[in-house]
Amino acid sequence: MSTSRAVLIAALCSASLTLAQSAPPPLPPPPADAPVATTSAPAPMPAVTPVEKPYQMGVRIGGSAGLGAWVPGPMISFHLFDLHGGLQVSPMFAAYLRVGYSASVGIGIMANAMGASVSASAAGMWLIGANAELGLGDSFFIAGGPQVGVGSWARTRVTGNTSGGSVQAIVSSGAHPGFDFKIGFGLGQPNKQTKRRTQATIALDLSMLYATKVTEAMASGGTTGASVGVNFSEAFAIVPTLHVGFEFR
């Protein structure tokens, strides 16, 4: 009996030892300073800055019409049209040729106890010139250049009083050299990419013309007799007008 019990105890001890040897060892704990794997968002793409294109010289066109006065006269002046075209060299500088037509008319009546007079004036001019323009910012501009007015300018005056009367006629025709000056501003901002501008404009135009040969004829008569005379002289005309138009710069 004792031998069987000893064999059983030895078998149990041998099985326990076999199980203890076959069990896997426990996993070691992670180190305290081990990095923790995280998923980060991708870095943002850098902003793309548009490349500013240099200004390219281009065509310059425009037109306007205006209303003003012709001095001496005075006459009401209708600047029926003024068209121009040329080159816009830079945002500030331009050069162009211009052509236009101006028609002016005036009537004067004067009467008093001594007599009365009636006068009528008229002028029609083709204006041909070349202007250079300076832009001041995106709106204001100044332009000027030589011009020639081709046409006629005439005035007739009839006077009567208690002692007689007279008729006077003044005529200038042909080419009238002069100068044109303009200052104004445009409405509208330039294109951010091309820097070109399409604008409505308001401008004060000052046109000056010089008549090199003016023919003046006069006939008068009265109680003392009659006379007829012809004189040649020179004259200078100033025509300020307010213009409204458009520009493609």
pLDDT, tens only, 54-65: 667 889 899 999
Residues in Cβ contact with 126 at an 8 Å cutoff, skipping those fewer than 6 apart: 99, 100, 101, 149, 150, 151
In whole angstroms, give the CA distance from residue 216 to residue 180. 27
Residues in Cβ contact with 57 at an 8 Å cutoff, skipping those fewer than 6 apart: 87, 88, 89, 90
CATH of the domain at 206: 2.40.160
Structural element, H or E, at residue 193: none
Indicate whether 21 belongs to any domain. no
Indicate whether 31 belongs to any domain. no
Name the token pair of 164: 């007689």
Domain of residue 213: give its range: 58-248
Measure CA 87 to chain center: 13
Indicate whether 72 belongs to any domain. yes
pLDDT, tens only, 71-113: 987 899 999 999 999 999 988 899 999 999 999 999 988 888 7
Indicate whether 230 belongs to any domain. yes
In whole angstroms, give the CA distance from residue 61 to residue 198. 10
Of the candidates 94, 164, 96, 103, the residue with the CA atom closest to the CA atom of residue 129? 96
Indicate whether 81 belongs to any domain. yes
Please give the angle made by the CA atoms of 67, 175 and 82, to the nearest 5 degrees. 30
Indicate whether 3 belongs to any domain. no
Dihedrals φ, ψ of 21, to 5°? -75, -30
What is the average pLDDT score of the chain? 83
How many distinct structural domains can be found in the chain?
1
For the chain, give the percent of residues with pLDDT over 70: 76
Indicate whether 24 belongs to any domain. no
CB count within 10 Å of CB 71 equals 14
- Mean pLDDT across 30-48: 60
- Give the CA-trace dihedral at 16, 22, 25, 26, to 10 degrees: -70
pLDDT, tens only, 220-245: 887 777 888 888 888 999 999 999 99
CA torsion through residues 8, 9, 15, 18, sign: negative
pTM: 0.71
Residues in Cβ contact with 139 at an 8 Å cutoff, skipping those fewer than 6 apart: 185, 186, 187, 199
In whole angstroms, give the CA distance from residue 99 to residue 203. 17
- Mean pLDDT across 152-160: 90
CB 138 within 8 A of CB 197: yes
Indicate whether 2 belongs to any domain. no
